[in-house]
Amino acid sequence: MKSPGKELHPNYKITIERMNEKVEVFIDNEKIAETRNVIKLLEQGHAPVIYIPQNDIKAIDLIKNKDYQCPFKGTAEIYNIKHGTHNYENAAWCYEEPYDEVLEIQGRVAFYPEKVQEIRIS
């Protein structure tokens, strides 16, 4: 699906890069994700965002909390994370049906850095 944001903001820039580095995500001193299948999204005015495949996430439950409509990427599902006895509200998101311009992030999960213990790139 084509982004309506492109027509309204033709100079808005989003760049997608494949990374070769390993990415690990930690919560409560436990590794909940590890992958080398990483996409980094660089969006004008925002910090880079790491997207990882859902299959590379372990030891947590992603519980849909709400939807968010981005004019440049499409509709995201915002997730709470349940890990053991802890719940982390609005801690991750995923674009199941992104706009064509960012189709590479489809089905991948990104974590809010302030909601997880660490996102380690090595």
- Convert the pLDDT of each residue in 78-93 to its tens digit: 999 999 999 999 999 9
Continuous segment of H or E residues that includes residue 7: helix 4-8
Domain boundaries, the chain: 4-121
- Convert the pLDDT of each residue in 18-35 to its tens digit: 999 999 999 999 999 999
For tokens 């790491």, the residue is 50
Q: Return d(Cα 39, Cα 53) in angstroms, integer.
A: 9
Q: What is the CATH number of domain 4-121?
A: 2.170.150.40
Q: Return d(Cα 37, Cα 40) in angstroms, integer.
A: 10
The model's pTM is 0.93
